[in-house]
Amino acid sequence: MKHSLLIILLLFTTSISFGQEDVDEKSMIGFGCSVGGEQSETVRKFSILLAKKKYYKLAKFLNSKNFAEKALAAYVCEKLNGLKKITLTAEDLNRIQRIKDSEDLVSVCSGCTQFEKIATKNLFSRNEESTPNEGFLIEEHAKYWFEFYLKK
């Protein structure tokens, strides 16, 4: 019994690590990752800035070399601009549109099993070419997170 339990546990942990081998943890968007439901490093960084109401610092991430930071900054800055919490320049708005149209790959995670890389443009909209695995729409995952940290 102990051996079969050990084998099942070993297979389970091995299959999880295989699912994660392609992702970049430093450049990941995730609001509830792994067993503990933890935020990715990028999301944690943005959570702190939102909670401290340092909204203009978020716009600086539009120029980041980190694709996850750029994508999350595009989402957050667009929302903050719509709520009139910040005022974006025409250059910022153009940069956001370029980010949203980008083919750059962003690592995403959700729960214990979804760890993958998807094109940035697929974070913002689904299209006919999207596969079922490209179901990580940033709006669906970030909506409650954004509202929660905006109210802090």
What b-and-e string marks burial along 73-110, b requiring 16 or more CB atoms within 10 Å of the CB? Answer: bbbbbbbbbeeebbebeeebeebbeebbebeebbbbbb
Whole-number Å distance between alpha carbons of 30 and 123 = 12
What are 73-76's contacts with CB under 8 Å, separation 24+? 73/46, 73/99, 74/99, 74/100, 74/124, 75/123, 75/124, 75/138, 75/139, 75/142, 75/146, 76/46, 76/50, 76/142, 76/146
pLDDT (0 to 100) of residue 128: 56
Confidence at residue 102, expressed as pLDDT on a 0 to 100 scale: 95
Mean residue pLDDT across the chain: 81
130, pLDDT greater than 90: no
Residue 52 — φ and ψ, nearest 5°? -85, 0
The pTM for the full model equals 0.79
Q: Confidence class of residue 107 from pLDDT cuts 50, 70 and 90?
A: confident
pLDDT band at 110 (very low <50, low <70, confident <90, very high): confident
Please tell me the predicted confidence (pLDDT) of residue 17: 41
DSSP 14: H
Confidence of residue 150 (pLDDT cuts 50, 70, 90): confident
Tell me the pLDDT tens digit for each residue of 5-57: 444 444 444 344 434 447 677 788 888 887 777 888 999 999 999 999 999 99
For residues 6 and 95, which has the higher predicted lDDT (pLDDT)? 95
pLDDT (mean) for 53-80: 96
